[in-house]
Amino acid sequence: MMRACSPAEVRQLERSAGAPYEDGTLMRRAAGAVADLVRRVHPGGGQVLALVGSGGNGGDALWAVADLAGGRDAWTARALLLGEGADGQALAAARAAGVEVVEHLPAGSAHELAAQVDVVVDGIVGLGARGGLSGAASRMAGAIAEQRASGGGAPLVVAVDLPSGVDPEGRRAPEPGAHVRADHTVTFTCAKPAHLLPATCEHCGEVAVVDIGLDATGLGTVVAGWSEADLRSALPVPRRDAHKYSRGVLGVVAGSEVYPGAAVLTSSAALHTGVGMLRYVGPRRAEDLVLAACPEAVPGEGRVQAWVLGPGTPVDDAMVQRRQARLARSGGPALLDAGALGQVACRPAGAPR
């Protein structure tokens, strides 16, 4: 499970690291992870451009392209400075490695620059930023987006910590034309809310969480997300002697005369999880459709170990609501949706969630 911690707490953890933070060790570790990911997603070298802001992410980006330019791969690197005062150590290392440093974005050159590179390393702003990009940073982000739209997805974008212009807390969708959209994001120590929450996660691409030597066990989890691997590991593998009751019997109360398809969708999805048996409870029209789509389903109540209640059920049907309330209070695990959400308060204390 990927857990996301508060950006402010992560920044404080980094600052409290002492010498590794102050002497740039953490920055170089982070940059090494970024460079490694660039090599993995774009093997064979090419043209790489670092977008460099004035904060730690800008330093990470500089160290990363210095690593690429100084390695055995055939990388040609440029760094575009988009903030006031790039990290001095990182800038010196980039120049020493042969990185071409562009100190300001010449007028009208953003699209040309975007068209010349294979990979962009986004280090404009980091966890402390608020709001969208502006000025040269916004123009460069827009040029990259337009080039990607017309150039078959190139250049590839790798973000440091999170894409610039994206809300670190994940509460607000980014402003159109004022943010970077990444294919990959390399973040450090733990994920951040922006990587998991709906308003922002799609702008982060594939997220890699890298350990740079900080102990985050004391940080609280503000958001948690399950990966496909997590879901697979949570589903039990049937034994040779398994039967329908050991695999689990699921009861479904779903659908209505108005929304009979909800019953079919819910029942079909449930059977795809590998339940041992499915019982369907609902109106006759929906029941007929469920049995046509899922002939293994059994109509009517009976021995059940968990319930799905509410998809497509009417909120104004007293009999349906009483049935859902009774089943929600039965004490077994229950998933409540749509027409059954009013029964959340009916769940007994201590019942499985």
Q: What is the pLDDT of residues 109-130, one digit of tens each?
A: 999 999 999 999 999 999 988 8
Pairing outcome for strands 100-102 and 75-81: parallel
| Dist CA 254 CA 68 (whole Å) | 56
Q: How many CB atoms lie within 10 A of CB 228?
A: 7
User: Is pLDDT of 346 > 80?
Assistant: no
| Dist CA 48 CA 277 (whole Å) | 55
Task: Please name the amino acid found at residue 143.
Answer: A
* CATH level 3 topology of 2-231: Rossmann fold (3.40.50)
Residue among 312, 300, 239, 238 at smallest CA distance from 275 = 238
Predicted confidence at residue 349, as pLDDT, reads 61
User: Is pLDDT of 348 > 70?
Assistant: no
Q: How many CB atoms lie within 10 A of CB 332?
A: 13
Structure confidence at residue 71 as a pLDDT band (50, 70, 90): confident
Residue among 219, 209, 138 at smallest CA distance from 176 = 138
Structure confidence at residue 155 as a pLDDT band (50, 70, 90): very high
Q: What is the pLDDT of residues 248-294, one digit of tens each?
A: 999 999 999 999 999 999 999 999 999 999 999 999 999 999 999 99
Predicted confidence at residue 19, as pLDDT, reads 86
| Dist CA 130 CA 26 (whole Å) | 23
What sign results for the dihedral spanned by CA atoms 224, 225, 227, 229?
positive
| Dist CA 255 CA 271 (whole Å) | 16
Burial of 103 (0-12, 13-18, 19+ CB in 10 A): exposed
Average pLDDT of every residue of the chain: 94
What sign results for the dihedral spanned by CA atoms 50, 55, 60, 66?
positive
Q: Considering only 34-38, 200-204, 349-353, which range has the smallest mean pLDDT?
A: 349-353
Predicted confidence at residue 310, as pLDDT, reads 97
Compare 348 and 330 and report the one with higher pLDDT.
Answer: 330
Structure confidence at residue 84 as a pLDDT band (50, 70, 90): confident
Predicted confidence at residue 227, as pLDDT, reads 83
* Contact status, residue 335 vs residue 304, Cβ threshold 8 Å: no
Structure confidence at residue 162 as a pLDDT band (50, 70, 90): very high
Residue among 157, 167, 88, 94 at smallest CA distance from 123 = 157
Question: Under 8 Å CB-to-CB from 29, ≥6 apart: which residues?
Answer: 212, 213
Provide the percentage of residues in the chain whose pLDDT is more than 90. Answer: 84
User: Is pLDDT of 106 > 80?
Assistant: yes
Domain boundaries along the sequence of the chain? 2-231, 238-346
CATH number of 238-346: 3.40.1190.20
Token pair in block for residue 250? 């699921």
Predicted confidence at residue 220, as pLDDT, reads 94
3-state DSSP helix/strand/coil % of the chain, to nearest 5 = 40, 20, 45
Bridge-partner residues for 159, per DSSP? 122, 185
